[in-house]
Amino acid sequence: MTAQANPLRWVLLLLIAAVIVPTVCLLWFMNQAVRNERLAVQQKLIDVYSKKAQRFFVEVPDLFFAGKEEHLRSYPLNEPRNFFQLFAAGPDRFFQGMLIYAPQGELLYPPLFVDTGENPADKPFADKSQETIELAYLLSYPDGSATITPGVAARVMRSRVFLAQRFLETADQRLVNHLRRSLGGDFLPGPAETTAWHIERLVAIANQAGLAQQLANEIQTAQNYRAVCENAVQAALAYPSAAALDGWPDQTIRKLPGGLDLYGFKLNVSGQTLLGIAAPEQILTILTASVSDMQDEMIRIQVSDNLGNIIAGEPAADEKPFLKLTAGKFMPDFAVSFYFRDSAVFEKAAHRQTSLYTWTGVLVAGLVTVTGVTAIRAVGRQIRMNRLKNDFIATVTHELKTPLASMRLLVDTLLEKRCPDEATAAEYLQMIAGENKRLTHLIDNFLTFSRMERNKQVFDLQPIAPADIALAAADAVKTKFANTHCGFTCTIDDNLPPVNADQGAMITVLVNLLDNACKYTGADKQIDLRVVAQNGSVCFAVTDNGIGIPRRAQKKIFNRFYQVDSRLSRSVEGCGLGLSIVKFIVTAHKGKIDVQSAPCKGSVFTVTLESCKR
Ligand code: ADP
């Protein structure tokens, strides 16, 4: 395993640990969360609606019907004469009829018997004499203390009808009072059919006498009572004795069978069985109110009675309700079913939460990625820096060691006077000076690099003639080129515009480029420095016929410490800093540097600087 592969492997492992694993875990978690959310939303919705349903269809009806039970218990059962009047004119006409059974089970109210009209006691009513009328008057209003059996009550009622008829025919002023009293509530516990009949007759007489308006209240009361009687008769025919109510739990409400549009509230009061009779609108108001209060755009409610008829809400198709309950303790046979209008409701309800999860997930995944990538880049940079540092130390050591070693050797030779002659000694001293110059150049580069790194390099930009820069650079490399038998040409166009530059820094740039051109060229060196004006700029081009640079490496050569051939054994000196210094200086001059090169053919480095406006 190479030294380079190791850190890479670590970076890869780090990437997996810091980004991929958490992201995969997060995605898995999100997926689970979204799935759970759907179930949770379903349960949450059902919970919410269950609570509401409990309130609207259990608590509210229970409270309402508990009041009605109280009401039913409060009837003065021992005083039928009074409580019958309560049905007709009482403040709360919730019950519109009642059946009362004795503890033994026989029906106490309403008394039912077939009124044949052949009762001998009726005979006097055929006689229209004044005496008969007075007798009928007496019969119509019996003493309050008298015991009124159903038979007696029936006769009283017939008498009242006879009397009213006579008063009408004889235009007797007593008719108004008679009707007011008979219709206004003085009802008797007579047979229900007879009661209904006599009310019907008296109302007809009132209409004939033109008293409908005057007696409007009384007529209304009488009509109410007539309905009570008719309801009671119908119910009594369905339940002639308490035994017929077996199986109907006490304190509960049911719809009456046999096509009767009536509901019954069964109640046991001191051994007697009561069946309070109520019209559908009385029973249904509370349920329809609950339906409309609770139904919303999401759910549909359906209420059905003990016979399975839908009595409130919307009829539902064959769907399965998500919730079903009975309508409180008074209506155990009434079913309330709840349906979702849209089967995709859970999806929709969960959608908001799901998108919240998704966005959070995406955000967290993004954050993890950004953090991971940043961390990995930081680690990568650190690894690169470490490598650079190692390279730097190796390069510096190598570059310093060679000239120092040769200088030491030469100095030792001179000190030990092992020099054959003066000329050789002078040559050695010359060589020591050369090595010294090389070291100075190397250290200069290190210093410039260090200043560059710390952003401490300051440039003194002034308008300067490009020729001055080029000639100074050519002069600096002259000796070296001569020593290495390097063919060198320097072409400078006439009338070049001045450039805004730091002369010393720009000479460093050209010397570095010329130095490289010489270093990276074989034995037959041909180097050219050309300075030309181009589109308002000045170009300094250094051309050589050297080893060239592979395309892949051309971008990297300006990086610090980069060398195409980084082997310590390479023949030429240098530490990979020259071009990075060149690039730094050119950029600080707002200029640019390009390279065109092909392996084995040579390279052209071109520095372009903006010319000064004259
Ligand atoms: P060095 O001190 O190694 O010369 P530089 O930064 O000056 O460092 O150059 C970086 C690398 O670019 C060199 O190591 C060399 O491989 C390549 N290079 C620079 N100039 C030339 C050139 N004229 N011809 C071929 N290769 C070059």
Residue 369 confidence (pLDDT) above 90: no
Q: Is the pLDDT of residue 271 over 90?
A: no
Q: Is the CB of 578 under 6 A from ligand 1?
A: yes
The finding on whether 442 has its CB within 6 A of some atom of ligand 1 is no
3-state secondary structure (DSSP) of residue 218: helix
pLDDT tens-place string over residues 549-602:
999 999 899 988 788 886 645 667 777 888 988 998 999 899 999 999 999 999
- Calculate mean pLDDT across residues 476-496: 89
Q: Is the CB of 202 under 6 A from ligand 1?
A: no
**576 CA distance to ligand 1 middle (Å):** 7
- pLDDT over 70 (residue 123): no
CB-based contacts of 330, cutoff 8 Å, min separation 6: 61, 62, 65, 66, 69, 251, 252, 253, 265
8 A C-beta contact, residue 223 and residue 200: no
Cα 581 from Cα 484, distance rounded (Å): 25
Number of other residues whose CB lies within 10 A of the CB of residue 354: 18
Query: Parallel, antiparallel, or unpaired: how do β-strands 525-534 and 486-492 relate?
Result: parallel
d(CA 164, CA 215): 14
For the ranges 13-17, 156-160, 216-220, 292-296, the lowest mean pLDDT is seen at 13-17
Angstrom distance (rounded) from CA 122 to CA 266: 38
Ligand 1 site-directed mutation target among 398, 402, 449, 557, most atoms within 8 Å of CB: 557
Specify the pLDDT at position 547: 93
Regarding the beta carbon of 547 and ligand 1, being less than 6 Å apart is answered yes
According to the model, what pLDDT value does residue 90 have? 62
Contact 509, 607 (CB under 8 A): yes
CA nearest neighbour of 387 among 559, 159, 155: 559
Q: What is the mean pLDDT of residues 150-178?
A: 90
Q: Is 517 in the pocket of ligand 1 (CB under 6 A)?
A: yes
511 lines ligand 1 (CB under 6 A): no
pLDDT value of position 403: 76
Residue 252, H or E segment: strand 252-255
Q: Is 575 in the pocket of ligand 1 (CB under 6 A)?
A: yes
Residue 350 above 60 pLDDT?
Answer: yes
Find which of 291-300, 338-347, 389-398 is predicted with most confidence, using mean pLDDT: 291-300
User: Residue 370: its pLDDT value, please?
Assistant: 85
Confidence of residue 120 (pLDDT cuts 50, 70, 90): very low
**Ligand 1 centroid from CA 32, angstroms:** 58
Token digits for 396? 């510096």
Radius of gyration for the alpha carbons in the chain, expressed in angstroms and rounded: 60
The residue assigned the tokens 């007529």 is 219
Distance 550 CA to ligand 1 centre (A): 12
Does the pLDDT value for residue 3 go beyond 50?
no
For the segment 39-61, the average pLDDT, to the nearest whole number, is 89
Instruction: Identify the band that residue 113 occupies on the pLDDT scale cut at 50, 70 and 90.
Output: low
Confidence of residue 329 (pLDDT cuts 50, 70, 90): very high
User: What average pLDDT score do residues 202-229 get?
Assistant: 91
What's the chain's average pLDDT? 84
- 572 alpha carbon to ligand 1 midpoint, in Å? 10
Q: Quick one: pLDDT at residue 346? A: 66
Most ligand 1 atoms within 8 A of CB, residue of 388, 549, 596 to mutate: 549
Beta strands in 310-410 (DSSP E): 310-313, 323-326, 335-340
**What are the contacts of 394-399 at 24+ separation with CB within 8 A?**
394/568, 395/561, 395/575, 395/576, 396/446, 396/575, 398/568, 399/442, 399/573, 399/574, 399/575
**H or E element in which residue 481 lies:** helix 466-483
